[in-house]
Structure 1
Amino acid sequence: MSKLDEKIANYTKACADLGLDVSAELVEKVTRGLGPSIYNKDAETVSCSDAGELERVRENFLKKKLGLGEDDATLDAAIKEVCEAMGSSNRNKYRALFYAMLVKKFGKESVYA
């Protein structure tokens, strides 16, 4: 099993453990789209307590990657919702799952088709 396959299996298991409503197929596509960043412990996760990081998620992922034009307040509310869904005590908010949930929330699965 390749390292990528191990990461995908790990994220899929974490998704099931957290009870998140995201398909394994979408998790795999988002994971592949993240490239080598998933192998860096710090880049692999999202810190919901870091305002700068949440701003980068909004600007670089939601606006640039997904092409969303909603106002910042709407996008920030969606990010906060995902933070809450993944659990405040969960230290491993994997970026692949975080992004997959945002993709699903905004119905942008076509970006990963």
Structure 2
Amino acid sequence: MSEYFDDVKKYDGGADEAVVDRIVKHLGIALRNRDSANVAASDKTELDRVVANWCGKKLGVTGEAAESAVAAAAKTMAADRSKSRVTFYYLVAKELGKLETL
């Protein structure tokens, strides 16, 4: 768990460990596989899935706001070759102002 929290703190020094823990629990088994534990930000299908499933179903945000938040997270993490799904989802939720709802 601390590895996820440490990665999130690279982008948000004031990150709440409880929020990161809830994201980890939400992702569950997906984090066991290296491929699914990361977000392929260069893959449009992958980003569309994040918009639909994370933004739409979990956070209740759709449309341009969701797409914009996903694009902002991808831009923020552009320097990371492997983009942790936990960190990516955290940044999307933060961009949408939804951290407190997790």
**Matching of residues 7-86 of structure 1 within 5 Å:** 8-16=1-9, 18-21=10-13, 22-69=15-62, 71=63, 73-86=64-77
Which string of whole-angstrom CA distances, capped at 9 and with x for unpartnered residues, describes residues 55-109 of structure 1?
000011101111114x2x33222111111112x2312211111111222222223
Q: Please tell me whether Structure 1 or Structure 2 has the larger radius of gyration of its CA atoms.
A: 1
Report the alpha carbon displacement of residue 24 of structure 1 after superposing the two structures with TM: 1.9
Which string of whole-angstrom CA distances, capped at 9 and with x for unpartnered residues, describes residues 15-49 of structure 1?
23x23253222111111111111011011010110
- Moved segments of 4+, more than 3 Å: none
The CA RMSD measured in Å over matched residues stands at 1.6
TM-score scaled by length of structure 2: 0.86
Note if 1:90 corresponds to 2:56. no
TM-score scaled by length of structure 1: 0.79
Count of residue pairs brought into register by the alignment: 101
* Sequence identity percentage: 28
Structure 2: gaps of 5 or more residues: none
